[in-house]
Amino acid sequence: MNVSPKITPVGPSPLALAEMAHAIRFLSIDAILAAGEGHQGVPLGMAEIATTLYARHLKFDPADPTWPDRDRVVLSNGHGSMLLYSLLHLSGYRHISLDAVKRFRELGSPCAGHPEYDPPAGIETTTGPLGQGIANALGMAIAEAALNARFGDGLIDHCTWAFVGDGCLQEGLGQEVIQLAGHLRLNKLTFFWDDNAITDDGSTELSISENVAERFRVAGWHVQEIDGHDIAAIDAAIAAAKADSRPSMIACKTVIAHGVPRLEGQRGGHSGKLIAQDRADMAARFDWVGEIFDIPEAIATAWRETAAHGAKERAAWSQRLGLASDAARDEFARVHTRSLKDGWRETIHAFKERAAREGRAEFSIATSGEIAARLYDVLPEVVTACADLEAPTNHKRQLAAFTARDRAGRYLHCGVREHAMGSLANGIAAHGGVIPLAVTYLPFSDYERPAMRMAALMGLPTIFIFSHDSIGIGKNGPTHQPVEIIASLRAMPNMLVLRPCDAVEAAEAWEIALEHRTGPISLVFARQSLPQLRRDGCRENRSARGAYVLAEAEGGARRVTLLSTGSEVQIALAGRDILQGEGIPTAVVSMPCWSLFEAQDRAYRKAVLGEGCVRVAVEAAVKFGWERWIGEEGGFVGMSGFGASGPADELYRHFGITAEAVAAQARERL
Amino acid sequence: MNVSPKITPVGPSPLALAEMAHAIRFLSIDAILAAGEGHQGVPLGMAEIATTLYARHLKFDPADPTWPDRDRVVLSNGHGSMLLYSLLHLSGYRHISLDAVKRFRELGSPCAGHPEYDPPAGIETTTGPLGQGIANALGMAIAEAALNARFGDGLIDHCTWAFVGDGCLQEGLGQEVIQLAGHLRLNKLTFFWDDNAITDDGSTELSISENVAERFRVAGWHVQEIDGHDIAAIDAAIAAAKADSRPSMIACKTVIAHGVPRLEGQRGGHSGKLIAQDRADMAARFDWVGEIFDIPEAIATAWRETAAHGAKERAAWSQRLGLASDAARDEFARVHTRSLKDGWRETIHAFKERAAREGRAEFSIATSGEIAARLYDVLPEVVTACADLEAPTNHKRQLAAFTARDRAGRYLHCGVREHAMGSLANGIAAHGGVIPLAVTYLPFSDYERPAMRMAALMGLPTIFIFSHDSIGIGKNGPTHQPVEIIASLRAMPNMLVLRPCDAVEAAEAWEIALEHRTGPISLVFARQSLPQLRRDGCRENRSARGAYVLAEAEGGARRVTLLSTGSEVQIALAGRDILQGEGIPTAVVSMPCWSLFEAQDRAYRKAVLGEGCVRVAVEAAVKFGWERWIGEEGGFVGMSGFGASGPADELYRHFGITAEAVAAQARERL
């Protein structure tokens, strides 16, 4: 790989760096003492590591925190948040003012208990649930590699750094990350492992015996083992990490809560309550003259100067951007603002019109793959990750694989690692410039649910795509048949969940997904083939209102409203046929997305649901949550427990999810 | 560790074993052909491994499938279910009749698409979602070790074997298992890794580069690498595995779909659709004379004879049990029938009465720990697993740690591995004889949710205990504040969810948890200290009805019903005070468990909810699902999105979860 011309930072002397590290320590414990709680273990233990990184190696510019080619820094051991806030404050990120630090953990402060995604403040991702941060970092490194392949070293060529605790590496998620990053040889990814031999329970010997460094080596990482308080060693290790062609893990032997005599190296060092005397003792230890929340001017100045080389790098980068072709510059700007290329909507509309016209009875997850295939050509920024289900989910299509040798590939074989897939997709979304899809079966969404929650919490536009959404999968049985999972996703704030009923709604779902930028979206598809229900190819996105009248009642005022989603809408329509045949005016409402419907005005909602009508819902899932739409006394046709192994049509009959049952539920209530 | 006297099986000659392995192959593809779908890769690839295990080493007796000291066999690569059904049918498990095999994947057959927990049929656990099986196996090995320490080699001394595919080892869950089993040195646990270099996507090279055998060695396992079709090598490897003091991984180089020329060693070998010609080709390859579903008599006989040595072992075991002391025999029977020891209920009642009497305002997760501490003495079969949160969850109490050296310890430091914790707890429950608790924070339940789903699906009585149940945790911020998680657990079929409001309800929740045997239960507690609300120490378990009137309306017919759970019940009571003060007769209903309330008769439910009353719910969580109890137009005071970092009391005000808001919601509706 070519290396762009770079300004090599020199930075402060080791002596000054030691003092600068102490500034992190004191700022951190001053904030923790003020808050009355917090985790001092990480900032006190990793102060030298972080200082050396920022002062000597990190490419960053607090004057432009979201500069696309900045290095990314992730504090995966997020409980050590004061390490990050100290770094951001000291190096000059405006949002992390001294006032903000003084209000650590208070309502409204950007210095929350755990780092909360806030790029303008320099916080690249939300961390706290362990392992998520390093998985996000993996995604950032993938995004960097993909963008580097597209735009070249001149525009994108940066590193991703993560601070990592023992917990992150015990989590299965962390282990998935180790395997995958090693496999993909993401050479610009570096972990600093805070090897302090202490977790919340005490000695790491309580729960782990393996040689962690060896574990990384087995996975193909470049591994160095150093004293995490030795600035020269840290400096050399970072340089070696950057030079190596593999991802790097720097195992840093540290003393937890280093500097507080009462707690250092102890279990209580992690987050044991600090007292004023601890600060006094640490001040005595380090001959520290700064008062509370006061950083001696020389040290503060040295910290602010750490940004100088990054500012120069950014200036050089801007120059290179200016020299790039108009097309490259425009495209670079387009993907980094998540603007979509002209033609994307027309592509979806064309698909929609054709689907409505042709009316093929073969809607399924494969349809989503067909739509994706058309969009892949229009939107080169889309990268698709999938957890070893390429064939049955059909979203690879024309994409080449993203591999250790080919960074231009846009299909990421994640292996059977759903959790890492979801979290790295979040990291890609947080990085920007690349739109991530994450594809697996809906029953396995539970494996990546912690990542989905993080996307929702951060407001990241990660697109989650699921197949195998109900008992309709048939003979693979109840492990593979979601019944409660759609409800559990609907319950998640800021997570759009769409379950289209046919190819037209699928196209509409894709249109919504690409336009939605304030949070993640889950597109849920069946595996089995389903008929085409919508024969209107209208340009209006009817799914965007969440629910709409698919078939209005006929022969009089509506008496029954049948509500349904996805594969059961056809059953609702058949139920309507029965009821209409009996002279009961019945409407069918397709509700692909509850939360979008919830967001409509009351008048629209009432018109769709039908005032004074009997309401019956049909969905091959549990009833939980449906009372919102059918009321306490409404009818429900669906599942009351887990599924079974058998042919799909038999299962539908076995569990009583039939048009007859729908009609009966309505009749009972008339 | 002492070894009990054992009958060493000799079993059939290698030549006969080869033929017996072919019987697995033909039975499997006959069933898959009949079903029209299935996964032939595993049964064809692991036939020699399985045959050698069953014929030469496995301690089992189909005449008594649930014999407590049987070896446990787990097919972790559950998609290869026909391997297990073939083994069970051929070796003589009655439930897996030839008819059942012929109806593979059909509704009602015990031969479901993936193995479904069914001990009388010889199916020790449900598998399919990858990694769960080996984590269950880890739990079974822990249960064995714990029981062995309690009852000695004479009564419990068996092995646990798992068939494992690449997917299980790519899943983070699998990696957690590798770490933890190595750490605990579970010497009677053996994995057979089906090293066929193929996953669903194709070559494993697409997604993994590490040397899997080395990865196990790093974690402290005994590792052997053999040809998985070489019976002598398999035999020797199993013997060596049993002799070693570490857990064993036998890396078996195999050819996927071995025997079907068109598919073997290919991606399609995994589950590509079989055709009749494949069977003909395989029959030609192996000179197989058996017709479809017909096993030549000599081979069938050899298979049935594999059970002979197990029957002898069981007879010897029965003899030893007969010679044991009455106390030992009774206790052994008690724990294996999950009967509870006299005194357990009195212990809970005594706690409850004292809590009601003393009225200390310090209810929290610690209270659950106090109850557990009392029960630990009464119920020596309880083992508590916790994911590195010993201090803040307070459930270790007097327990010693279960370690590599001390199997009598009853507290399992799982490390930061929630997923393995949940799944191994399921394995413990499936093994029997030990009651597992799994303890972590509620926000991290998402990490173990796939395990919770498996417990619910299998109907295993795993007890999940959670702390940190809402924004009440305060300054650690939204990553640590569940808002949607209670709803997502309530949505899960067969999962009881209890959120007690005080120490009395906590005691009632524990009583319910210990009596509940048909599925898992989640006990959800706050971290913050809460007042004692119930001052009745009545022996009746009021929580067992799911919801009850905690404070009836006064001064006239009830006009308002306030519904609440957990930490918000005190807010509901304060809201009632306001409304009663305004002359509005208002009742407060505590609803610790929705599903138990749902199970009550309609009359009770109506009486509790109050007919014609305004209903307002208050819960520091999302509204999702509450319409079931408050109706479409009911009031709700709670969260509409994620939380924030700040002091708990400020957060409650910030999000408007106050008595005033409750009263206002009620007033608006009167």
For residue range B388-442, list pLDDT tens digits in order. 999 999 999 999 999 999 999 999 999 999 999 999 999 999 999 999 999 999 9
Q: Tell me the average pLDDT across A555-568.
A: 98
> Cβ A624–B491 below 8 Å, yes or no?
yes
Choosing among 3.40.980.10, 3.40.190.10, 3.40.50.970, 3.40.140.10, the CATH entry for A14-316 is 3.40.50.970
pLDDT of residue A14: 80
ipTM of the complex: 0.97
Whether residue B538 has pLDDT greater than 90: no
Which chain A positions have a beta carbon within 8 Å of B624's beta carbon?
Answer: 487, 490-491, 625, 628
* Chain A CB within 8 Å of residue B654 CB: yes
Distance (Å, whole) CA B648 – CA B473? 6
Pairing of strands A202-203, A198-199: antiparallel
* Chain B CB within 8 Å of residue A77 CB: no
HEC per residue, B221-270: CEEEEEECCCHHHHHHHHHHHHHCCCCEEEEEECCCCCCCCCCCCCHHHC
Q: Is B64 annotated as a binding residue?
A: no
pLDDT of residue A9: 57
Percentage helix, strand, coil for chain B under 3-state DSSP, each rounded to 5:
45, 15, 40
Residues with Cβ within 8 Å of residue A11, at least 6 apart in sequence: A17, A55, A56, A306, A309
For residue range A32-48, list pLDDT tens digits in order. 999 999 999 999 999 99
Three-state DSSP class for residue A572: helix
Tell me which residue in A106, A210, A401 faces B646 most closely, judged by beta carbons: A106
Which pLDDT band, with edges at 50, 70 and 90, does A4 fall under?
A: very low
For residue range B548-605, list pLDDT tens digits in order. 999 999 999 999 999 999 999 999 999 999 999 999 999 999 999 999 999 999 999 9
HEC per residue, A309-350: HHHHHHHHHHHHHHHCCHHHHHHHHHHHCCCCCCCHHHHHHH
pLDDT of residue B15: 79
Three-state DSSP class for residue B38: coil
What residues 171-230 of chain B have any CB closer than 8 A to a CB of chain A?
A: 171-176, 179-180, 182-183, 199-202, 206-211, 214-215, 218-220
Q: Around Cβ B203, how many Cβ atoms within 10 Å?
A: 12
Whether residue A391 has pLDDT greater than 90: yes
For residue range B450-495, list pLDDT tens digits in order. 999 999 999 999 999 999 999 999 999 999 999 999 999 999 999 9
Domain extents for chain B? 14-316, 344-530, 545-668
Q: Write the CA distances from B375 to A378, A659, B382, B395, integer angstroms.
A: 63, 51, 8, 11
* Chain A CB within 8 Å of residue B273 CB: no
Å between B354 CA and nearest CA of chain A: 31
Distance (Å, whole) CA B290 – CA B288? 6
pLDDT of residue B4: 44
Q: Is B612 annotated as a binding residue?
A: no
Q: Tell me the average pLDDT across A206-221.
A: 97
H or E segment and range at residue B454 = helix B445-458
Whether residue B5 has pLDDT greater than 60: no
Q: Is A130 annotated as a binding residue?
A: yes
- Count CB pairs under 8 A between chains A and B: 337
Q: Is B359 annotated as a binding residue?
A: no
Residue of A118, A199, A210 to mutate, interface with B, max B Cβ within 10 Å: A210
For residue range B600-640, list pLDDT tens digits in order. 999 999 999 999 999 999 999 999 999 999 999 999 999 99
Which pLDDT band, with edges at 50, 70 and 90, does A8 fall under?
A: low
Which chain A positions have a beta carbon within 8 Å of B420's beta carbon?
Answer: 172
Å between A360 CA and nearest CA of chain B: 24
Instruction: Return the residue of A nearest to B594 by Cα.
Output: A624
**Structure tokens of A371?**
């739509």
Which pLDDT band, with edges at 50, 70 and 90, does A345 fall under?
A: very high
Do A344-530 and A545-668 have matching folds? yes
pLDDT of residue A302: 96
Distance (Å, whole) CA A99 – CA B255? 65
Whether B393 contacts B372, CB under 8 Å: no
Whether A242 contacts A19, CB under 8 Å: no
pLDDT of residue B475: 96
Residue of B136, B223, B446, B626 to mutate, interface with A, max A Cβ within 10 Å: B446
Which pLDDT band, with edges at 50, 70 and 90, does A80 fall under?
A: very high
pLDDT of residue A585: 98
pLDDT of residue A15: 79
Q: What is the pTM of this model?
A: 0.97
Pairing of strands B382-386, B435-441: parallel
Three-state DSSP class for residue A122: coil
For residue range A250-307, list pLDDT tens digits in order. 999 999 999 999 999 999 999 999 999 999 999 999 999 999 999 999 999 999 999 9
Which pLDDT band, with edges at 50, 70 and 90, does B8 fall under?
A: low
Whether A470 contacts A524, CB under 8 Å: no
Three-state DSSP class for residue B80: helix
Which pLDDT band, with edges at 50, 70 and 90, does B9 fall under?
A: low
Whether residue A542 has pLDDT greater than 90: yes
Å between B104 CA and nearest CA of chain A: 9
Choosing among 3.20.20.70, 3.40.50.800, 1.10.8.60, 3.40.50.920, the CATH entry for B545-668 is 3.40.50.920
Beginning with the edge strand found earlier in the chain, give each strand of the sheet holding B635-639 in spatial order. Answer: B548-551, B586-590, B560-564, B614-622, B635-639
Tell me which DSSP letter residue B516 carries.
Answer: -
Which chain B positions have a beta carbon within 8 Å of A179's beta carbon?
Answer: 170, 175, 208, 210
What residues 106-135 of chain A have any CB closer than 8 A to a CB of chain B?
A: 106-109, 112-114, 116, 126-131
Distance (Å, whole) CA B200 – CA B271? 8
pLDDT of residue A418: 98
> Cβ B478–A116 below 8 Å, yes or no?
yes
Three-state DSSP class for residue B89: helix
* Chain B CB within 8 Å of residue A162 CB: no
CATH architecture of the domain with residue range A344-530: 3-Layer(aba) Sandwich (3.40)
Which pLDDT band, with edges at 50, 70 and 90, does B2 fall under?
A: very low
> Cβ B480–A114 below 8 Å, yes or no?
yes
pLDDT of residue A5: 44
What average pLDDT does chain B have? 96
Distance (Å, whole) CA A597 – CA A546? 4
Which pLDDT band, with edges at 50, 70 and 90, does B536 fall under?
A: confident
Q: Is A270 annotated as a binding residue?
A: yes
Q: Write the CA distances from B570 to A101, A470, B446, integer angstroms.
A: 34, 40, 28
